[in-house]
Structure 1
Amino acid sequence: MVLNSIEKLLEKYDNGETTIKEEQQLKAYFAQEEVAPHLESYKTMFQYFNTTKQEDLYTKDVPLKTKKSHIYQWISVAALLVLSLGIFTTQFGEDKLTYSQLTLQEQKDYDQAVEVFNLIGSKFEQGESNMAAFGLMSNKLSEGAEKFEPVAEFSKATNKILKSKKKKTKTSKN
């Protein structure tokens, strides 16, 4: 009678329909020395659950050392200065000069400003392409998870078939 109720509880357990009390009954049964031979696999499973529950979790803090790069801060400061200088000169400068009318120093400054803007633009483009790679990786992980679901369903069905075959062979032996 006890074996019959344990088998019913195991069937409910496999279907995810047991209550906490029923699971405690299963744990108590499989904690015994002698278990029915056809339920030995469940005994090892419940013993594994008990041992892993008793293990201490690793709770030590892991310090993370991050490298702080100040170059981006300086680039942003330089860009801000160039922009404010540009706005200041366009508002208060009445004469509009062409590139050829600038002095050599002004031409160098202009060229450097253009290089800074190009550098900032290329860094933004790099960041955008990196984010696209993360998006692609996320999509691939989602696709992989979706493809794994039928495998889990197949595994459940296979386990049910194998259990029913075991029951049939045991009843035919008896």
Structure 2
Amino acid sequence: MVLDNIEKLLKKYENGETTLKEEQVLKNYFSSDTVAPHLEMYKPMFDYFLVNQQEQFTKDVPLKTKNIFNYKWISVAAVAVLMMGFYFSPIIANSDCNDLGTYCEPEQALEEVSKQLAMISNHFNKGTQTVGYLNEVDKGTSALGYLNEIENTTSIIFKN
């Protein structure tokens, strides 16, 4: 009778349907020395649960994090940025416009852009001339489209 009850509780336990009292009955049964031989495989699992239940965490868990901000480093970073600004400002102020690959005069820049756009247009026109034959291909595909329509109507008439 007791063995049948334990087997029923094990099935419920495997399905996750046991209550805490029923689980305690299973733990008590498997912690005893009189376990049925065909249920011996469950004994290590329930022994582990008993040992694991007695374990305790002994380390301290810090609940507040220390958020100390050192303002000295902000002043050091600010001084470093200012020193770099003072060091590099004469170099930038004395540079010519052409040193950076730019033009000082807007008219000169406009003339250079016009030259580059004319060159691109010339090469683009050469490319479009070489693919002009594609219009003939489009005409051929449209003629094939008409043939498909004729085939569809003949299949409707003759009901293939």
Q: Same fold (TM over 0.5)?
A: no
Calculate the TM-score normalised by the size of structure 1.
0.39
Greater gyration radius: 2
In the superposition, the TM-score normalised over structure 2's length comes to 0.42
Larger RCO of the pair (alpha carbons < 8 Å, separation 6+): 1
